[in-house]
Every structure is written in C-alpha cells, then in structure tokens.
Structure 1
C-alpha cells in the first residue's frame, strides 16, 4: 500500500479553510496533519474537507490557540491525545490508520523570544515538553509509527539560513537541538525528510516580518516528518511545497510531504 502524508502548520484552519481545500484538491495527500488550528473541534469546517474525500478525522481543539488535527482518506481511529508537560494545551493527537501505522501529530511550544528559562517561562515550558516527549517514547517504544508536526526547532546547520547568527535565537539554540536529539533517540526515530534530502539548505518556515520572504530566504526547517526504523526505509519522495508560502494570506509555514510504500 502506498500513501502520501503531509504536515502543515496552518495558523488558523478556519481563517485559511480555502487554502486547506486548495492543497487537498491540488496535492491530494492521503493524510493531512495540521497544527495551530486555533479552533474547537466542533467549529473546524469538516464538511468542506469531507467533500474533498477526507472523511476521517481525529482532532484536539482549543479556542484561539494551538490545536492539532489529522484528516485522512482512509479510516483512522484516535489512540491518544497527550498532555505533555501538563500544560493543558491541545498540542498532540495520535491516530492509527487502517494499515496499522500510528501517526503522531505534534505542535511543540515555540518557546518565546529569550532562550533562558530563568527569565522566560515559555522557554522552560518548551524544554519540559520535549523532556516529556523523550520520557514517553523511552517508556513506550514506538513501532510502525510516523511522527510529524511543527516541532519549532531547526536542528541542523543547513536547516537555517545562518547557523552562527541563530545560535542564540530560539528554535536553533544548542539546548533545544540537544533536547530534540534526545526525543529522536528515545524513539529511535528517523528524520525521513533528511533521509531523502540529505544535503543542502532546507526550510519550511519564513517569518511574516520579512517584507520579501522569498528573495531574502531567511528560513528555518521547523516542520518535520519522522518514522520508526521498521518503516523508515519505505519512505520516499520527501519535499517541502515552498510555493504554498506565497499563496494569498498564507500561513508562515509550508507543508512538508513524504510518501510511504507499505
């Protein structure tokens, strides 16, 4: 069975309903994972998505903030919605597809502006969230699983536009990169995107603050697709759909795709 999965921080699913529909029509991934939906589940525009073939959904919502959802053309059942670091935020949902693959959809806290938990509570929450993820996967080793989402960390030097300039900027600090590496090691996760595209600069996010984001190209790879070793070799065709960042009233993130032959 071959299926394509996409992950996208949509930055309000209701505000950008038309963009989600456009991606569903134009690219038609079998599974679409959204983060930062900013909507209670009951107010997500399900009818429009179902009309495009996405009849199955698991989601966790929150008014105005956070929110994660998995839309699928194939049956999916919710298996978990974790409250990492006890924040009470809608930042994780997991569903098991009809082919037996579990999909974890995460929205890791951004962490605020100052990379010091002593003066920035949000940065501490981010580190605690990642630590909880690490401990969870260490205690419950995943199998036949895919982890996707806006992890809000660009781990590699070529995942950012300027490594040295961003070493003290939240999302690329050494302590965040180390915490993410610990999460990856705990679950024995494989970075599918970099498995397919091992070299070169690669970004999935460009700030709204840049007046000409495309020309300046000061991006970061904050959005990820991982898989467990038992299915990672079946992944192929990874890509970041950069053009979506240029759509009208876009999210500041672009969707990331991977195809699995299982």
Structure 2
C-alpha cells in the first residue's frame, strides 16, 4: 500500500480550518499530521475534515496551547502518547495504520528566546524533552515507523538562511542540534526529506515578523519527516509546500510531504 503523508504546524486548527480543508482538497494526502492545534480534542472541527473523506483521527489536545492530531482517510488506531519531561503538555500522539506502520507526531517545545537553561526555563525544558525522547527510543527501538512534526530545530547549515548568524539563536544552536542528532541516532531514524533533497537550502518556517517573508526568505527547516531504516528506502517525493505559507490567514509553517510505497 502506498500512501502520502504531510506534516504541518497549523497554529490553531479551529482558526485555520479553512486552509486545512484547502490543503486536503487540493493536495489530498492520505494522512495529515498537525501540530499546535491549540484545541481540546472534542473541539477540533473533525466534521469539516470528515466531509472531505478524512473521518479518522487520533489526537491529544488542550485549551489554547500545543496539541497534536493525525487526520487520515485510511483507518488508523491510536498507538499511545508520551509526556516527555513531565510538562503536562499535549505534544505527542502515535497512530498505527492497517499495514502496521506506526506514525509518531511530535511538537517539540520551542525553547524560548535565550539559549541558556540557567536563565531560561523553557530552553531547559526543550533539552530535557529531547533527552527523554532519546532515552525512550533507546529503550524501545522503533521499527516500521515514521516520525514527523515540528521538532523546532533546524539541524543543518543549509536548513537556515544564515548559519553563522543563527548559531546563537534558539533552534540552530549547537547544543540543540546535538540533542536532536542523539534522538535520531537512538531510533536509527533516517531524515527522509534530506534523503530525497540532499543538497541546497530548504526551509519550512518563515517568521510572521518579516514584512515580506517570501522576498526576505529568512527561513528555517523546523518541520521534519523521518523513517526507521527498515522502511526509509520506501520514502520518496519529498517536498515543502511553500505556497501554503502565502495563503490567506496562513500559519508561519509550510506543510512538508513525503510518499511511502509500503
């Protein structure tokens, strides 16, 4: 069974239900993983998506903050969720497709503005969250799994608009990149996006602060699609749907796509 998957930090699923519907109608991914839904699960407008054929959902939510959901037109069952670093936040949900593929959807903490855990509690929470992710994947090695989401780290030099300028900016600091690499190594995850697009600058997030985000193009690749080694070779056709960043009332993130022949 082949299926196409997309991941998108939507920055409020209720506020932006119209552009979620637009994506589902125009692009038709089989599975759409959303982060920062900012909604209790029972308030997610599932009826809007079910009308387009996406009647299956697994999700974790809370009022006004965080939140993760997997919408699917393929049957999917919940496969657990974890509260890493005991933050009490809705930041992870896993779902299993009928073919046995497990999809992990993550919203890693952003980490605040100051990359110093002594001065900034949020940065410490981010590092702790990543450490517990690492330990979890070490303990229970994933197989036949895909990990997606807003991981809030742009790891490579060409994942940001200016490597040197951003070395001391949260999301691209060496300590964050190191922590993310440890998570990746722990699960033997393959970065499917960069497997498909190995060279060149690639971004999935552009700040709302930029007057003309498209022309300035000061982006970062914060949104990721990984797969375990046993299925990574089945992944292809990766792309960032940059146009969606320019839609009406957009998220500051663009959807990232990949197709898996499984």
Interval containing the TM-score (normalised by the shorter chain): over 0.9
Q: 1:167 matched to which residue of 2?
A: 167
Structure 1 SS opposite 2:109: coil
Q: How far off is 1:137 after superposition? A: 0.1
Q: How far off is 1:5 after superposition? A: 0.1
**Alignment partners' CA distance in 1, 2:134 and 2:53:** 35
Structure 2 SS opposite 1:125: helix
Q: 2:141 matched to which residue of 1?
A: 141
Output one character per residue of 1:172-231: Cα deviation in whole Å (capped at 9) or x when no partner. Answer: 000000000000000000000000000000000000000000000000000000000010
Tell whether 2:204 aligns with 1:191.
no
Q: 1:240 matched to which residue of 2?
A: 240
Q: 1:38 matched to which residue of 2?
A: 38
Give me the TM-score of the superposition, normalised by structure 2.
1.00
**Alignment partners' CA distance in 2, 1:97 and 1:62:** 25
**Alignment partners' CA distance in 2, 1:79 and 1:196:** 28
Give me the TM-score of the superposition, normalised by structure 1.
1.00
Q: How far off is 1:79 after superposition? A: 1.1
Give unpaired runs (5+ residues) of structure 1.
Answer: none
**Alignment partners' CA distance in 2, 1:85 and 1:30:** 31
**Alignment partners' CA distance in 2, 1:173 and 1:94:** 28
Q: 1:223 matched to which residue of 2?
A: 223
Large movers: runs of 4+ above 4 Å: none
Please list, as runs of the form range in 1=range in 2, the aligned pairs for 1:33-182 lying within 5 A after superposition.
33-182=33-182
Give unpaired runs (5+ residues) of structure 2.
Answer: none
Q: How far off is 1:81 after superposition? A: 1.1
Output one character per residue of 1:93-114: Cα deviation in whole Å (capped at 9) or x when no partner. Answer: 0010111100000000000000
**Alignment partners' CA distance in 1, 2:162 and 2:42:** 41
**Alignment partners' CA distance in 2, 1:218 and 1:46:** 34
**Alignment partners' CA distance in 2, 1:107 and 1:60:** 11
**Alignment partners' CA distance in 1, 2:181 and 2:81:** 23
| Aligned alpha-carbon RMSD (Å) | 0.3
**Alignment partners' CA distance in 1, 2:227 and 2:82:** 19
Q: 1:18 matched to which residue of 2?
A: 18
